[in-house]
C-alpha cells in the first residue's frame, strides 16, 4: 500500500499505470487524496465543496471491478472547478447568489470525466463567476498559494491550481476565458494548457462559454498528464470545427521531438506596461533554452491589435455577465441594486445591460479581424513566447473584486495582465510553463502559443522543454516532512 509520500510523487499517468498493473487500489489513492486534503485544505482553502464520502464509496466500488481499472484514468482522484455543474453537489459559481444551488445535472465536460472513471473529490474555489485574476471570493474566502501563503494563486482556476500544487490531486479541472488556466498555472508552478477553441466538449453552464472564448481543460504537474486528459474531452461529436490532420491521441505523440521550430519572442507589454525584471528573465531564459534545443528564435513586436481585441472581449464578457447574473436574479425575484454580488460584478453586469446587439456584432467582428492577423503571423512563426503576467505573483488582497475604488481595480487588472486574453478571442492553443522562479522563490510561468489546431505541436514543445529543464512537482507547503 502506498504512503502519502509515495502518493505525492505520482502524477496521474503514473497513478493510472499503477492501477492497471495492480500496484495499488483506487481506494488507496482516494484515501490518500482525502488525507492530504484534510492536511492542507483548512489552510489553503482550495476545495470549497467537499464530496469525500461519495468519492471513497466510488473508489471502493471500482476496486470490485478490476477490469474497469485497466481503462485509461479510471480510479484517479480528481476535482472539478466550481464553475461547472456536478450533479448532487452545490454549484456556487463563486457567488453568494448560488450558495444553496444544488446541481440537478452534470456539465458536459464533467460527464466525460465521470465516464472515464475519474473519482471526483469535490469542487474547487473560484472568484465570482470566474471574473478576475485572483481567487478571493466573498462567498468562500481566499485561496492561499501553497508556495507562499501570503500570495495569490491567480484566477480564476486558483482553487484547482492550489489543490494540484499542494498535492491533493495530481491534476484538476480548470477553465480559461481570459487566462484562467494559464495564470493560476504560472502562479502555482504548474503546466496549464488552454486548448484550441472547438476541439473540446463545450461548457454550457454559464453564458454559453463567453461566446466561445472560454474552454475547459486541466491544470497539471506534468505535460503528459495534460495530454492524456485532453484525449478525454477531444471528441468528434464535440468539435465545432473540422479537426486538422493532427494526432488524435495527444499523449501517444509526446515522444515526437520537435526540431527547427520558428519561435517568436514578445518581450514588451501590448499596452506599454512595465515588465518585472524576473518576468523578463523568465522569457529570456526560455528563449535561450529553445535556441539550445535547435529552434530558431526571433524577437518580434506585437503580433496583433491587442487594444481592439481587449475592447471587444470586455464588451462580450460584460454582456455575458449581465446574462448570467440577470438569469439568477429573475429566479430569486430580486434586483441587481440589492443583489449580494461583488462590486466589480455589479459594474460589469450594469455595463453589459447597456450594450446593444450592434455592440455585440461589432465586438465579434473585431475578434474575427484579430484572428485573421494571428493566422498571418503564424504563417511565419510556429510558436510565440511571451510572459503570462507582467509581474510576479501578487499578494493576497492586491486585486479586490469588491473594492469601492473600481477605477483602481481596473487599472491594476490591466497592469497585471494583458498577454493571455488575446488567445481566448482568437481561439488558439496557449500554455503556461513553470520554467522559472523569481527572487523570492515563487513560480513564474512563460507562455507559449501556437496557431489554431496545433495543440499537438505545443504539447510536444512543452514536453521537450520539461525534459530539458525539469520543474518542481509540488509546492513546499504540500511536503509531509
CA-wise closest residue to 84 among 217, 277, 191, 200: 217
Grid coordinates given for 62: 471500482
Going by C-beta distance under 8 Å and a sequence separation of 6 or more, which residues neighbour residue 333? none
Q: Of the listed 25, 81, 123, 391, which one is catalytic? A: 81
How far is the CA of 478 from the CAs of 66, 226, 289, 429, in angstroms? 31, 21, 29, 30
Q: How many Å apart are CA 212 and CA 111, to the nearest integer?
A: 20
Grid coordinates given for 194: 488552454
Q: Of the listed 180, 186, 211, 344, which one is catalytic? A: 180
Q: How many residues does the chain have?
A: 481
Going by C-beta distance under 8 Å and a sequence separation of 6 or more, which residues neighbour residue 351? 318, 322
Grid coordinates given for 409: 481595480
User: Rounded to the nearest 5 degrees, what angle is found at the Cα of 188, between the Cα atoms of 383 and 378?
Assistant: 10
Look at residue 132 and give its three-state secondary structure. Answer: coil
Dihedral sign (CA 360, 366, 370, 376): positive
Q: Does the annotation mark 307 as catalytic?
A: no
Strand 430-437 vs strand 296-300: parallel, antiparallel, or unpaired?
unpaired
Q: Of the listed 156, 157, 209, 386, which one is catalytic? A: 156
Q: Does the annotation mark 156 as catalytic?
A: yes
Give yes or no for a contact between 420 and 157, defined as CB atoms under 8 angstroms apart: no
User: Rounded to the nearest 5 degrees, what angle is found at the Cα of 190, between the Cα atoms of 30 and 27?
Assistant: 5
In sequence order, what DSSP letters do the residues of 81-118 get, joined into one string? ETTS--TTSB--TT-GGGTT-B-SS--HHHHHHHHTT-
- Phi and psi, residue 37, nearest 5°: -60, -45
CA-wise closest residue to 293 among 434, 465, 466: 465
Q: Does the annotation mark 180 as catalytic?
A: yes
Look at residue 138 and give its three-state secondary structure. Answer: coil
CA-wise closest residue to 97 among 212, 206, 177, 208: 206
Residues annotated as catalytic are: 81, 156, 180
Amino acid at each position: 500500500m502506498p504512503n502519502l509520500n509515495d502518493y505525492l510523487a505520482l502524477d496521474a499517468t503514473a497513478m493510472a499505470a499503477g492501477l492497471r498493473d495492480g500496484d495499488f487500489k483506487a481506494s488507496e489513492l482516494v484515501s490518500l487524496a482525502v488525507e492530504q486534503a484534510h492536511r492542507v485544505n483548512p489552510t489553503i482553502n482550495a476545495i470549497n465543496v467537499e464530496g469525500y464520502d461519495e468519492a471513497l464509496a466510488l473508489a471502493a466500488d471500482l476496486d470490485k471491478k478490476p477490469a474497469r481499472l485497466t481503462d485509461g484514468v479510471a480510479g484517479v482522484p480528481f476535482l472539478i472547478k466550481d464553475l461547472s455543474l456536478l450533479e448532487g453537489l452545490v454549484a456556487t459559481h463563486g457567488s453568494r447568489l448560488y450558495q444553496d444551488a444544488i446541481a440537478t445535472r452534470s456539465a458536459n465536460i464533467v460527464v466525460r470525466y465521470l465516464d472515464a472513471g475519474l473519482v471526483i473529490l469535490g469542487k474547487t474555489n473560484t472568484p465570482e463567476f470566474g471574473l478576475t485574476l485572483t481567487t478571493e471570493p466573498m462567498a468562500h474566502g481566499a485561496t492561499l498559494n501553497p508556495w507562499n501563503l501570503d500570495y495569490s494563486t491567480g484566477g480564476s482556476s486558483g482553487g484547482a491550481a492550489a489543490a494540484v500544487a499542494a498535492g491533493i490531486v495530481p491534476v484538476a479541472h480548470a477553465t480559461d476565458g481570459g487566462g484562467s488556466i494559464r495564470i493560476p498555472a504560472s502562479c502555482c508552478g504548474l503546466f496549464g494548457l488552454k486548448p484550441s477553441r472547438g476541439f473540446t466538449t463545450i461548457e454550457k453552464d454559464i453564458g454559453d462559454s463567453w461566446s466561445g472564448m472560454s474552454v475547459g481543460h486541466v491544470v497539471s504537474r506534468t505535460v503528459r498528464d495534460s495530454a492524456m486528459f485532453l484525449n478525454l474531452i477531444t471528441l468528434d461529436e464535440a468539435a465545432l470545427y473540422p479537426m486538422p490532420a493532427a494526432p488524435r491521441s495527444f499523449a501517444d505523440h509526446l515522444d515526437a521531438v520537435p526540431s527547427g521550430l520558428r519561435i517568436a519572442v514578445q518581450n514588451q507589454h501590448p499596452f506599454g506596461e512595465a515588465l518585472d525584471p524576473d518576468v523578463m528573465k523568465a522569457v529570456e531564459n526560455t528563449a535561450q533554452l529553445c535556441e539550445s534545443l535547435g529552434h530558431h528564435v526571433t524577437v518580434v513586436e506585437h503580433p496583433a491589435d491587442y487594444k481592439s481585441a481587449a475592447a471587444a472581449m470586455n464588451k462580450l464578457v460584460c454582456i455575458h455577465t449581465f446574462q448570467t447574473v440577470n438569469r439568477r436574479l429573475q429566479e430569486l425575484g430580486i434586483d441587481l441594486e440589492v443583489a449580494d454580488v461583488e462590486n466589480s460584478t455589479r459594474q460589469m453586469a450594469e455595463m453589459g445591460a447597456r450594450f446593444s446587439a450592434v455592440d455585440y456584432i461589432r465586438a465579434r467582428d473585431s475578434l474575427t479581424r484579430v484572428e485573421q492577423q494571428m493566422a498571418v503571423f503564424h504563417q511565419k512563426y510556429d510558436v510565440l513566447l511571451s510572459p503570462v503576467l507582467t509581474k510576479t505573483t501578487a499578494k493576497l488582497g492586491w486585486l479586490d473584486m469588491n473594492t469601492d475604488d473600481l477605477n483602481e481595480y481596473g487599472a491594476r487588472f490591466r497592469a497585471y495582465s494583458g498577454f493571455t486574453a488575446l488567445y481566448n478571442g482568437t481561439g488558439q492553443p496557449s500554455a503556461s510553463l513553470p520554467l522559472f522562479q523569481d527572487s523570492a522563490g515563487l513560480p513564474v510561468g512563460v507562455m507559449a502559443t501556437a496557431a489554431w489546431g496545433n495543440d499537438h505541436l505545443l504539447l510536444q514543445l512543452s514536453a521537450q522543454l520539461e525534459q530539458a529543464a525539469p520543474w518542481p512537482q509540488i509546492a513546499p507547503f504540500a511536503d509531509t516532512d
